[in-house]
Amino acid sequence: MIVKVTTSSRYGVMHTSMAIAALIFSMGTTFAQQDTTKIKSDTVLVTVGRVSEEIREIPLAITVVPQVSLQTQRGFGLDQALTLVPGVVAQSRTGGNDVRIQVRGFGARGSGQRSNAGTSRGVRYYQDGIPETEPDGRTSFDLLNMVHASRIEVIRSNASALWGNASGGVIMLSSVPATTEPLINASSAVGSFGFMQNALLANTPLGNGQAYVSINNTSMDGWRAHSASSLVQGTVGFVLHPSNRTNVGIFATAASNVYRIPGALTKEQYEANPQQAQTNPAVYNPTYTLRDEMRNNKLGRIGATFDHAFDNSNGLMGTMYVQSKALERSERNTWRDFTRYHTGGNAVYRNTTAVGQNSLFKVLLGTDLQYQDGAILFYSLDTATKSRGTELRDNKREGALDVGGFVQAEYMTEEFSLIGGLRFDAISYFYENRIVPTINSDKTFQQVIPKLGATYKLNEGASIYANLGGGIEVPAGNETDPPSVRGEDTITSINPLLEPIRSTTYELGIKGAEGFESFFASVTYDAALFFIDVKNDIVPYRNGRFYMTAGHSTRIGAELGFAVKTNIHLSLYGALSIMKSEYKTYAIDSGFIDTTVAGHTTSYAGNSMPGIPPMSSTLRLRYDSPDYTGLFAEIEWRNISGYYADDANALQVDAMQTIDVATGGTIEIVSKFLNCTAMIRVNNVLNSTYMASAWINPDNTAGGIPYIESGLPRNITGSIYLKFTP
């Protein structure tokens, strides 16, 4: 079959989307016809559907990042681990673990000056079943263990009907070692720009389960001025099986994360010297370096998971956790001390009933709860000592409570399944000003979210699916801050101009894995077409000083992910994402800023949404030697198209392309007991200068518009791993 791909412009999405759909569906048909040479593919189980289930039975776009892909990365940021996940754009902002991540455009606005460095929004994150995402939908990456992560599962579909607020995508990490065998793994890595990493992983069987300890210390001087970072993480985990019907996980984890923020550059600064920090007093006064813009986060958490099957038909699973946080920020000419505690849990009941001889009826009934509370003290900033001043400017309490419940029913035969579900979420904010208590208040956002999906198995290895899902994303905590409107500093303590972002996703896809007794040993593929309708897009006013929900947008796109393995030990992996995103309605009413121009509006209808690239793609070619244990070599090409950084579509972010290479091998020092693995990785081999990330809707200052965060030039990392197996 011949498919012609044509694009008349950088937004030629429809032609390419249809071509991809035709190609991948023809692949599924071709594979289904090759029964004489096909061998059965491996079963892949995932837990992102809230219960363990075969990936091809779930009517959602899901990608699994295996451990073999994680082991070749630096292990500092989440960006490198997600390059082969279609629909995901992950960009390191300064070369460290401060990463900007979006899934099909969700999370794109979570990048900027105002309380967004080091956090993500619109996407939910979990580690070992415990949520990293706060009740308001923001996530910091302090506890995410990329050094010893054994597996990552990614839902690329809108999954709010399962996971609640800010589930435009769901990313789940596991820090549990993939093996229960006793081992000690010590590693050390050094690299460009002062990169250093020392880590230790110890694992031992414990009854039918295992216990492990993970420690890592990673630091980097930073490639840009004023971008040094240091991350120390530790985890103690127990995975227990008290009976053949019961699984229990207990995890204690802590982290200390310090990183400095160089600030965004204007176009002129970037072109003159992309390595500089924002040091122009005409842009910000005091500058980023004068006020030592930084974050110092210290936090710890204890969490537990359990799963008990009462019998072959009924079971109960859940989580519970408690977390404390002590955060310091030097930000916007103030020193801020945060003291917070975060607690919560969930419970999910499951029932499976046989209906006839070859049919099943499954029911999930669950509830989720998250609560975070604490104080924020705002002090003056002493720029001479770059530390907290003596003047207490504000004393606030900010709390958030997220309570949700869902029900999901599924009818399943050997070839077909139909899923329907409904979820209710209520997210409440609590605001107290301990200096001006008259403005204390609270506000609750509520939403009912539907879900409908169907899956049909084409053969043992492939299935097609359709999915209709609703979504909700409430305004993040900093967006609910009191707005400055019409000259008034404070009209209320909770922004009355905001409503939840509501979205509806329509999706059609195919996914499968086929094995062959030919040159191609196996082919795994995953393709999806989607349309997303988003209402109540959040619109910034006065350069982001306050927000309101006034936009309506749509996103239409196509995704393709694949892995081809051959019998000559070469493997080709790829990911391609194409999406057109635009505002359908978006009117700025100048009367919210100045009453003398009330009624004067500016419309951005038809503009592209900022921060969302129309296209991104990755290709990785890997060779695994059959003759030498662990010897591999790989090369990866990555491309992200240009996009806009503002709603007005006046600020352009250039397209970027990078090429990375890596190679490594293993030597047995003492047979079966001690081996050594060495690896070297070179990122950005061609030493390209590129815009790694951008601030969305940045401030328009007297010295220009700073919005560009420049990417790492060529950088080299060398690693050594010593593995001892008693």
The size of the chain, in residues, is 726
Quick: pLDDT tens for 569-584. Answer: 999 999 999 999 999 9
Quote the pLDDT of residue 356. 83
Nearest-angstrom CA–CA distance, 558 and 702 = 41
Nearest-angstrom CA–CA distance, 321 and 202 = 24
Single-letter residue type at 506: Y
Instruction: Please count the CA atoms within 13 angstroms of the CA of 445 that sit on its side-chain side.
Output: 29
Supply the pTM of this predicted model: 0.92
- Helix, strand or coil, per DSSP, at residue 149: coil
Quote the pLDDT of residue 550. 79
Task: Tell the burial category of 52 from Cβ atoms under 10 Å away from its Cβ (0-12, 13-18, 19+).
Answer: exposed
Quote the pLDDT of residue 436. 83
Residue 41 has pLDDT above 60, yes or no: no
Contact 205, 179 (CB under 8 A): no
Quick: pLDDT tens for 640-692. Answer: 999 999 999 999 999 999 999 999 999 988 888 999 999 999 999 999 999 99
Residue 97 has pLDDT above 50, yes or no: yes
Q: Over pLDDT 70: what percentage of the chain?
A: 91
Sole residue written with tokens 């681990």: 81
Quick: pLDDT tens for 175-212. Answer: 999 999 999 999 999 999 999 999 999 999 999 999 99
Quote the pLDDT of residue 200. 97
Quote the pLDDT of residue 24. 42
Quick: pLDDT tens for 546-567. Answer: 778 878 999 999 999 999 999 9
48 vs 653 pLDDT, higher one: 653
Contact 226, 94 (CB under 8 A): no
Q: Over pLDDT 90: what percentage of the chain?
A: 67
Quick: pLDDT tens for 447-483. Answer: 899 999 999 999 988 999 999 999 998 887 777 776 6
Quote the pLDDT of residue 237. 98
- Region 529-548: mean pLDDT is 83
Q: What's the mean per-residue pLDDT of the chain?
A: 88
All structural domains of the chain:
13-724 (2.40.170.20)
Residue 29 has pLDDT above 70, yes or no: no
List the beta bridge partners of residue 500: none
Residue 30 has pLDDT above 60, yes or no: no
In this structure, the strands spanning 53-54 and 45-46 are antiparallel
Q: What is the CA radius of gyration of the chain?
A: 25
413 vs 599 pLDDT, higher one: 413
Quick: pLDDT tens for 271-319. Answer: 999 999 999 999 988 899 999 999 999 999 999 999 999 999 999 999 9
Residue 4 has pLDDT above 60, yes or no: no
Q: How far apart are the first and last CA of the chain?
A: 55
Quote the pLDDT of residue 34. 40
| Distant-in-sequence, close-in-space partners of 101: CB < 8 Å, separation ≥ 6 | 78, 79, 82, 88, 89, 90, 91, 107, 120, 123, 171
336 vs 332 pLDDT, higher one: 336
Quote the pLDDT of residue 1. 30
Task: Please tell me the least confidently modeled range out of 29-38, 240-249, 548-557, 581-590.
Answer: 29-38
- Region 472-496: mean pLDDT is 68
Contact 220, 95 (CB under 8 A): yes
Quick: pLDDT tens for 108-156. Answer: 887 666 555 667 889 999 999 999 999 989 999 999 999 999 999 999 9
- Phi/psi for 246 (5° steps) reads -130, 135
List the beta bridge partners of residue 344: 321, 370
